[in-house]
A = this chain, B = another copy of it.
Amino acid sequence: MTQKRILIVGGVAGGATCAARIRRLCEKCEIIIFEMGSYVSFANCGLPYFIGDVIVEEEKLLVATPELFKNRFNIQVCTDTEVLSIDKANKTLDVRDLATGQNRVERYDALVLSTGASAVWPDIDGINLPGIYALRTIPDSRQIRAALENMTRAVVMGAGYLGLELAENLSKRGVKVTVLQSSNQVMQTLDQEMAAFVAKHLEQHGIDCRLNSNVSSFQQNPDQTLSVNLVSGQQITTEAVMISIGVKPRAQLAAQAGLELGQHGGIRVNETMQTSDPDIWAVGDVVEVRNFITNEWLICPLAGPANRQGRLAAAHIVGKDVAGETALMSYRGVQGTSVCGIFGLTVATTGVNEKALKAADFTHYEKVYLHPGNHVGYYPGAKPIHIKLLYDTRNGKVLGAQALGESGVARRIDVISAFIQMGATVYDLEEAELCYAPQFGATKDPVNLAGMIAANHLRGDHPLARWEELLDTHVRVAENHDEAQQLLALILDDPFAQAQIVDVRTAAEFQQKHIPQAVNIPLDSLRDRLQELSREREIWVVCGVGQRAYNATRILQQNGFRVRNLSGGMQTFVTLQPQIDTDAHG
């Protein structure tokens, strides 16, 4: 018997893709998928929207059924089947049919582990009380949908993508939602100042969003409601709690088999998705992958990379037999491109964020903020996109970007993702030739503008000041109301010795809101008022979004002043400290 026998453990995203691709590359292999749950290849990313009745029919979540796998791909799917252990030496699996309770042994020539990730379940008193849920599967979503009937309030623990999508969908079903986040920001993929904008948006849409909030215990009340007790002493009464504080690789099977794991608990694989055992591959949320930019290992539970890993593993598994027919590829790591829509706000990111650069002691980077419209202002309906771009100051290489806005956000992040993939610099962004018509963009697209601002900086034409220097502190926003007041006081009361702040907006704009110690010299009169400026101290220029200040920077620099532009202008200043206006939770 020469037919190769390929077993796949886990039939969602990566596993299902891998199986189908193996079949396409090898009609003669025997392929079997073992899935512990009752469904394969379901749309887990759609679950929050099934809760929210945006997706109404449950069957729409079933991307592929066991029947389809059988008929279309000649792949056998064993649902409700648990793989108990791997015998690497004999290349067999111990498998249990959960319906019958019968165990059996399955032989393999190649094994693919696609066991995914499970919700992190915090070790908190009362965590197993009824009314506390995690949303990972279709049965989970059914349970939550059933509970909605008697749910007027819910607490979502964890402000990641899933938690916030859940918050939005519950809110749209009429549930009053409180989001608890133990750290000082929502959405860890963002830097804190960008995340602060999201938190503000959540508040504006009726979500009670509490940062730096840790749960000490849950308790059930006589009326069947739950009390969520916070470390701060606060108590929240609710009908339901959704746990979404993260996921961890389901790597127990791999660990028991002695496969190498990484520092984050995921399975270690090489660039062909092969584990430390040459006959075992692993793909998807269960593996550790390298960051494309920093080369560091991380867990990246995203469906897109899982799919590509599945395809890649398939080529390598099959490639051994059909060498020459398949161009073998190496996994290039993940960029972490991601997107999330929350109450009409799109949040997207690609590459590394500033936190990660700092954590990796990567000091030779700079950042620019900008707030261009998604299309030209003269065409009605333009919406700002708030962008942060990070780049390497040694060579201009684009390191990462974060963007927020109502429209056109994913488009710009996708473009930057393509550029990052190709090793592009800010000079390439500057030169990008992108779609322009009045309703679609601008002759200088937001991607061009980001590149131009950064390139002007690198060419020495546009020295940049960082807001955190102004705020006399490290990169951060106020973590709470008290600190926000302190920061404000710092700006208000301390004569800022380091630089003179010159606000080049109009007098009317200046009067509305300005940095306390700034002086107002509108751009159009700057050339006539140069004598008012000190040549001893550095001048930091600020305007609305950074553009007029850039022009002012050019004028001043060429007139011999030491000058820098506060990147992104007052729009960035406002996002940096929204909690001064909004934080009332302490």
Contact = CB atoms under 8 A, between A and B. Distances in A.
Interface of A: 13, 23-28, 43, 45-46, 49, 54-55, 60-61, 63, 68, 71-74, 161, 302-308, 325-327, 329, 332, 334-341, 346, 348, 350, 376-380, 410-411, 413-415, 417-419, 421-424, 427-428, 431-441, 443-445, 447, 455, 459-461, 523-525, 527, 550-551, 554-555, 558-559
A428 B422 contact: yes
Nearest to A337: B433
A443 to B, nearest CB: 4
Nearest to A436: B304
A175 to B, nearest CB: 20
A71 B522 CA distance: 11
Given A376-B43, A414-B411, A461 B25 contact: yes
A460 B24 CA distance: 12
Contacts of A554: 23-25, 27
Give the number of times this chain occurs in the complex, counting copies: 2
Contacts of A439: 49, 341
A350 B338 CA distance: 25
Given A74-B527, A325-B461, A443-B304, A417 B436 contact: no
A210 to B, nearest CB: 24
Contacts of A161: 437
30 contacts: A25-B554, A43-B378, A46-B378, A49-B438, A55-B378, A55-B438, A74-B527, A303-B436, A304-B434, A304-B445, A326-B461, A329-B427, A329-B431, A334-B433, A335-B433, A337-B434, A338-B435, A339-B437, A340-B437, A341-B440, A411-B411, A414-B415, A414-B435, A417-B432, A418-B418, A418-B422, A418-B432, A418-B434, A421-B428, A421-B432
Given A415-B414, A419-B418, A422-B419, A332 B431 contact: yes
Contacts of A527: 74
A339 B427 contact: no
Contacts of A434: 304, 337, 414, 417-418
A26 B433 contact: no
A378 B59 CA distance: 9
Contact of A437 (B45, B424, B428): B45
B459 A325 contact: yes
Contacts of A419: 418, 422
A447 to B, nearest CB: 8
A380 B57 CA distance: 11
A441 B523 contact: no
